Each structure stands twice: as C-alpha cells, then as structure tokens.
Structure 1
Amino acid sequence: MLVDSHCHLDFPDLQTRLPSILEAAQAAGVGRLVTISTHVARFETYRALAEAHDVVFFSIGTHPHNAAEEPDVPAKRLVELSAHPRCIAIGEAGLDYHYDKSPREVQRKVFRTHIEAARECGLPLVIHARNADEDMVEILSDEMRRGRFRAVLHCFSSGEKLAQVGVELGLYVSFSGILTFRNSDEIRRIAAVVPRDRLLVETDAPYLAPVPYRGKTNEPAYVAHTAHVLAEVIGASDAEIARTTTDNFYRLFSKAAQADTARELA
C-alpha cells in the first residue's frame, strides 16, 4: 500500500471528481490520503471529507499564503479542532517567500503559533517551505530548543542545508512529483541521503503532477510515479519503498495508525 501524505481534496479540480479520484487511487494501490488544510475556516469541509471516506484523514491549519487572512487564530483553537478523531496533523503552515502573498512577519508569527499547537497536542506539523531556507532553519532550531515537536518538510524543494537540519532535528522529509522532473537533479541527490526511516511521498494534488503527467491536474493515484522514482534514487524496489514510506507515515502520523487499528477491531 502507498499513502498520499499530502493532497487537497477540497480544491475544485479534485472535489468535483471525488468518486473517480478515490477509485483511481485505490486501483493504483494508494490506500490512505491526507487532505491538507489551507484555511482554519474550512474545518467543516475537511471534517466532512474525512467522515465520508474511510481512506481520508485531514489536518487543520493556515497555509502561509493565507496567513494574513487568519493572523490571529490561537494555538488553543488549533488544538481544539485537532481533537477530531480523523484530524491527524497541524498545518500546513510555514514560510513562502517566493510568492509573498502574506507579509513575511505575519507568516513567521502564524508559523510559530502552529508549532506551539503541534507541541501542545502532540500531532505532527506539516511544514510548507519555499525560498525561505535561512529563516526556516532559524525558526525550527529556535523552536525545537523551546520544546520538541514532530514535523514533516512537505513537498521538499529546498536546499541541502534545510534537509540536513530537518533530519538532525528529527523531522521527516516528503517528496512530491518534483522529484520526477528532468531538472530536479539536486532534489534527487538530497533524497538519496535522507535516512530511509524519514522518507514520505505525496502528490500535493492538484498541483505538481509527476512525469508522465506533468502539466496536467495531479491526483492521489499519481503518487505511485513519485514512489517509483524515489525507489530508483535510493536503490530500492517499488515494494520496498511502498512499505518503507507507509511504515514511516504511520510512525509520524500515529493518530492515523490508532484510527485504523480501532476500525479493524470494531
């Protein structure tokens, strides 16, 4: 089984085709999906998706693009919402200095609030980092000194230093379709040295479709193509990378493991 650890099933490109999207994922061997929050205000949408489909989990948080829209959501509120049995993570939150859709100081403030929430509730933080490596390293290192928390650097497209610091701090690293792109040699080099017990795969659907679907709408089924390239990069078989990344998913997102075990026993 494969897990798409990061997708956006509430986005129109996927939500309008959800039955066929989920059917295709199952046919591709993708047994679990995490639909990731971009606005806390859309909590009910994420909740409804997860409650309607046993294979779907969700997170709660504010994407850095939207930090200026939700600048003052307290950590306490994130913790309260995360108590839902199918909410398995905080985020995605972080820093995006490529688009700068929210002021950088607001992004940093909101990011630290999400770290506080992740630390308090014990759920992993899903981290968005783009063109902000220096500040990301500084904040992660500072916050980890204040108190440990679990996290994943999602859709990794940053530099080697951030990957190294992330691993040293105990974070996981998730690779998307970017790994399959012809001009992504540096990302493949980084993936090759990330410890196997820290690797995850994702789509970030509907964005970043992997080769051979690049330029088209991405969907969870396509995570199999990213997993195949990751297997080649680290010298593993497709079966090994599926087992490794799924085991890593359940280790990091331990609430998902608990939910699946409870369902099996019911």
Structure 2
Amino acid sequence: MNSADRLKRHRNARRGVTMLVALVLLAMFCGCDRGHEAPESAPLQIFVASSLTEVFEAFEAMYEASNPGVDVVISAAGSQTLRLQIEEGAPADVFVSANMRHLQALVETGHLDDERHFASNALVGIVEGGNPLEISRFEDLVRAQRLVVGGPEVPVGSYTEMMFERVAVANPGLAAELRQRIVSRERNVRQVRAKVELGEADAAFVYRSDALNFEGVEMVAIPEAFQVRASYGLGLASQLKGERRARVEDFVALTMSAQGDEVLREHGFERDVL
C-alpha cells in the first residue's frame, strides 16, 4: 500500500470516529431534553399508599375497560417508601399519599406540580378473628399483651401517635398501659394488619379501610374524642405534558368522579375534606 492509500484510509477512519461521536452526543442531548418523561404509549405509573391497593386496582380495571390499549400499573407501598423512590427518580405519573406531608415535600422539590385532597380515612383497633380476648371496647385493648402499630415515619404510625396523645389528655393511665404493650412498629399498614391476622399480635391500630370486609380481623371502635382521621392527597408529576398528561388527567378524573366516590365508600374511605 502506497502513502496515498494509507492517508486515504486514515482520513476515512477519522470521519467514522467523528460521526460516531456526533451520534453519541445527539443521543445524549435528546435523552437530557426528555429527562424522566415517559413515552406517550408507556403504561401509566400510579404510586399509591398501601391502604389504597384495592381501591386503585378497581380504578385500574375500570379505566382499562373503557380505554382499550392503555395500560395502568399500580405500585403500592408505604407513603414514605414511595416518596423516597420518587426522589430517587422512579417514574411516577401520579402519587397518592396517606398524608399530605409527603406530597407537599415532593411539590417543594419540584417532583410534583399539583396536589389535591383525595380521600379521608379513620383509625380503628383490630383484634384476631374470633376475638379470643373478648375485646369489644377501646378500653378493653389493655387485655392485649402484644400491640402492634405503624412506625413513626409511616402515616398510620403518626396518626396512631396523635391518637395516643389525645388518650393521654383524658386518661393518662390508659395511654401509658397501651404504649407499654407495643411490641412492634411496622413499615406500612398492611404489615401491621398481617401481624394480627397471623396471630403474631393480639391487637393493632390500622385504618378502617384495612379492617372493613376483611375476615381475618375484627374491628374495635375508637371513641370520637380520641379519633384521628387521615387525609389522603394526590399529586401529578411535574414533567407530564402533552397527550400523556391529558391521559393521566383523564385517569385522575375517573378516581374523582361519582363512580370513584362509590369505590371509595365500598372500601371504607370518604371523600370529605377534613
């Protein structure tokens, strides 16, 4: 090969490398421009507090039935866990939290650009099915030797602590006895309920929605003077736009409709603003 041929091959190789670098930079530029925005046809990603699992599974079925070709994916966990996932980049289109604090934090950081009241819930005590300790009133819960509650970082746990504080004002001895019986603090309300269902706890405090129509446990009412009602909030991802935002808004409209109200009531929730 003479020097001219070698020079020509060298120039062609350089052009190939230059084109490859240009394509890589173009791909990086396009990717940065889109951020975490999902393709228009990607499934709708709905993150919900674990206590709303069955509610949103019902909404999922309703929406997909009336919108063929649209896929809705429900991710349910403790509100604090979902908030952390969103902060770390999880592609949630909608976040429904069991308290407003986690929702407002994500609005402040720019992850969500919209927040609204979604539903309310009430606390109840629960005991094992069959009620072997014959606990029928709130005061009877001191018969439980193993009481389970949500952790302080979990909405149901913070609501339970507020309830204890109200009990302490009216009856400090009762509040102290109940606190002494706490053997476990769980990371979400479904784990709290499971402890009683599996016989690993005598009693627990959960949302009314987690005890209603559930055969594994029995409810114990909390007196109105001690009652703490949970306020659930809903927020939309800030990066939503165009057709995808319209589709997400359409799904949210279903959850906020008269049909949505009926689904909530069937599962022990209310729509009233607290």
Q: TM-score, normalised by structure 2?
A: 0.27
> Over alpha carbons, which structure has the higher Rg?
2
Structure ranking higher in strand proportion: 2
Q: TM-score, normalised by structure 1?
A: 0.28
Q: Which has the higher contact order (CA 8 A, sep 6+)?
A: 2
